């Protein structure tokens, strides 16, 4: 069973490790190449795009792929759509792995918005010092804002940045204590983040809750219609085994 894992997430690496250790599976992991020094999974890895849904379909056919697992970031909507379309055209099964989103807890003050544009409009009334934890892509949506932004990302953004900002290059996970110290030390008024889910980056939400700070939570893009979804690595492993 030769399987392409569209990755870049912890779940993708875990699936690759589990499947590579079992007989009957050949795993190829693909990374988009947007992070300069990605954490690589075990096994064969390719880096770079495919050229849209048609390019991916051709690659799947040319490389004898039997199944596709889309374990990309929950906000990689374009890649997920291409994976679904390409797999359908090639007649291959495809699974979308999505960790559950975060849930609002007592004491949270979340403002849910549908996209980055809405988030940029929302922060205008939340204070003058905003913490952006949306990665380097999408920062340009806040470029025209008059607020001061603490922008945290793994790699420097390539698009326009807000006129008033501090760029903090760092890779998580971070502890609650570290996040609380950052929020208080920079006198942050509000936090902007994407509903990525998972425990690795949840500490910032716990710290914001303890400090009584509002959180602008950007909703995930929808998955392709009719998508088969697994919420855990274990469920993805069972799906793969069921194909054999």
> Which stretches of 137-226 are DSSP H helices?
176-185, 203-211
Same domain, 95 and 149: no
Domain that holds residue 114: 110-218
Task: Give 38's pLDDT tier (boundaries 50, 70, 90).
Answer: confident
Same domain, 234 and 211: no
Residue 27 is assigned to a structural domain of this protein:
yes
Same domain, 20 and 35: yes
Same domain, 192 and 232: no
Residue 49 is assigned to a structural domain of this protein:
yes
| Residues contacting residue 227 through CB under 8 Å, at least 6 positions apart | 80, 84, 94, 96
Task: Give 137's pLDDT tier (boundaries 50, 70, 90).
Answer: confident
Same domain, 32 and 85: yes
* Nearest-angstrom CA–CA distance, 205 and 183: 11
Same domain, 79 and 176: no
Task: Give 21's pLDDT tier (boundaries 50, 70, 90).
Answer: confident
Residue 121 is assigned to a structural domain of this protein:
yes
- Structural domain total, the chain: 2
Find the CATH number of the domain harbouring 94: 3.40.50.850
Q: Rounded mean pLDDT of 8-34?
A: 91
β-strand partners of 215:
110, 191
3-state secondary structure of 140: helix
Contact between residue 65 and residue 25 where contact means Cβ atoms under 8 Å apart: no
Residue 231 is assigned to a structural domain of this protein:
yes
Same domain, 115 and 62: no
- With vertex at residue 9, the alpha carbon angle to CA 8 and CA 11, rounded to the nearest 5 degrees, is 135
Same domain, 29 and 85: yes
Residue 196 is assigned to a structural domain of this protein:
yes
Same domain, 198 and 227: no
Residue 31 is assigned to a structural domain of this protein:
yes
Return the pLDDT at 207. Answer: 98
Same domain, 124 and 191: yes
Same domain, 131 and 191: yes
Q: How many residues are listed for the chain in this entry? A: 244
Residue 123 is assigned to a structural domain of this protein:
yes
Task: Give 215's pLDDT tier (boundaries 50, 70, 90).
Answer: very high
At 217-237, the pLDDT tens digits run 999 999 999 999 999 999 999
Contact between residue 178 and residue 201 where contact means Cβ atoms under 8 Å apart: no
Residue 105 is assigned to a structural domain of this protein:
no
| Crossing angle of helices 233-243 and 10-20, rounded to 10° | 40
Same domain, 214 and 120: yes
The b/e string for 57-67 (b: 16+ C-beta within 10 A; e otherwise) is bebbeeeebbb
3-state secondary structure of 194: strand
Find the CATH number of the domain harbouring 128: 3.40.50
Return the pLDDT at 172. Answer: 87
Q: How many CB atoms lie within 10 A of CB 84?
A: 21
């Amino acid at each position: 069973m030769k399987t392409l894992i569209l990755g870049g997430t912890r779940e993708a690496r875990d699936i690759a490790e589990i499947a590579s250790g079992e007989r009957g599976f050949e795993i190829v992991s693909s990374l988009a190449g947007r992070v300069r020094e990605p954490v690589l999974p075990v096994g064969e890895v390719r880096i770079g795009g495919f050229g849209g849904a048609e390019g991916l379909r051709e690659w799947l056919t040319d490389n004898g792929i039997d199944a596709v697992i889309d374990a990309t970031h929950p906000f990689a909507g374009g890649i997920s759509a291409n994976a679904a379309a390409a797999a359908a055209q090639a007649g291959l099964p495809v699974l979308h792995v999505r960790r559950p989103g975060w849930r609002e807890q007592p004491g949270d003050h979340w403002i849910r918005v549908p996209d980055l544009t809405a988030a940029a409009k929302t922060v205008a009334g939340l204070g003058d010092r905003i913490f952006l934890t949306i990665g380097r892509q999408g920062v340009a949506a806040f470029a025209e804002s008059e607020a001061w932004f603490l922008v945290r990302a793994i790699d420097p953004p390539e698009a326009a940045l807000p006129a008033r900002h501090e760029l903090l290059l760092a890779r998580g996970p971070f502890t609650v204590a570290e996040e609380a110290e950052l929020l208080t030390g920079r006198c942050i008024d509000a936090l902007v983040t994407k509903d990525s889910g998972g425990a690795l980056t949840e500490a910032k939400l716990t710290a914001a809750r303890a400090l009584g700070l509002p959180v602008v939570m950007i909703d995930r893009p929808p998955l392709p219609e009719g998508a088969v979804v697994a919420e855990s690595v274990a469920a993805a492993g069972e799906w793969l085994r069921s194909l054999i």
